[in-house]
Amino acid sequence: MNVPQKIILVQLFSNGDCLYATAVARQIKADYPGCHLTWAIADFCKSIISGNPFVDDIMVVTDVAKNDEAAFRKLKKELLNRKDKGEFDEVIITHIMGSNQANYDGCIRSAIFRGYHKLITLPVTPVLRLSIEEQEKANLFAHQHELNKYSQVILFEFAPQSGQSKINKDFAIELAEALTGQKM
């Protein structure tokens, strides 16, 4: 009887990056049928992978802050030591820190995919499972803002941690007006 491979995927943060990495989790499950996949993730991002059908366990990492290369190297060393002791068969690091910074070409998604040692051949659509509570919050938001009154609804998020997006409230309104042909 074959023992399932134990694999750990390291993508600590941010929420958007972790969503991109869900395609890697899907691919790992296809490349290693029957494997047990653990995802190492920051506490503040763990809800983004909660309920993901491709993730068997979540390992919450609390001691690697954003841009803390020393703490990241320490985590990587710890996980590789655990692999050497047989706790994991594979350590897959898609997180864009350390040597993975060389994978960055201006596009987060492709940099994350390059952290995986095999090709991504399955759909790259992110996997997100909303909890009942999150679904209720979304419904309450839609109800409170009477979104059902509108034929077109455009929602913007303009507070990315990366600072890459130049979207602000004024730009969002201007773009929404241009897209809908309506003045707000």
CATH at 94? 3.40.50.2000
User: What's the rounded Cα separation, in Å, for the pair 30 and 122?
Assistant: 9
The answer to the question of residue 23 being in a domain is yes
Name the residue type at position 9: L
Domain count, the chain: 2
Check whether residue 152 and residue 78 sit in a common domain: no
Check whether residue 110 and residue 172 sit in a common domain: no
- Residue pair 115/101 in contact (Cβ under 8 Å)? The answer is no
Instruction: Evaluate if residue 158 carries a pLDDT over 70.
Output: no
Check whether residue 110 and residue 170 sit in a common domain: no
pLDDT of residue 33: 97
Burial of 103 (0-12, 13-18, 19+ CB in 10 A): middle
Q: What is the DSSP string of 137-167?
A: HHHHHHHHTTGGG-S---------TTS----
pLDDT of residue 137: 96
pLDDT of residue 63: 96
Give pTM, 2 decimals: 0.85
pLDDT tens figures, 84-108 = 999 999 999 999 999 999 999 999 9
Check whether residue 172 and residue 93 sit in a common domain: no
pLDDT of residue 151: 86
Check whether residue 82 and residue 30 sit in a common domain: yes
Check whether residue 136 and residue 110 sit in a common domain: no
With cut-offs at 50, 70 and 90, classify the pLDDT of residue 171: confident
Check whether residue 11 and residue 90 sit in a common domain: yes
pLDDT of residue 4: 84
Quick one: average pLDDT of 52-70?
97
With cut-offs at 50, 70 and 90, classify the pLDDT of residue 3: confident
Domain range spanning residue 143?
A: 132-180
Check whether residue 57 and residue 100 sit in a common domain: yes
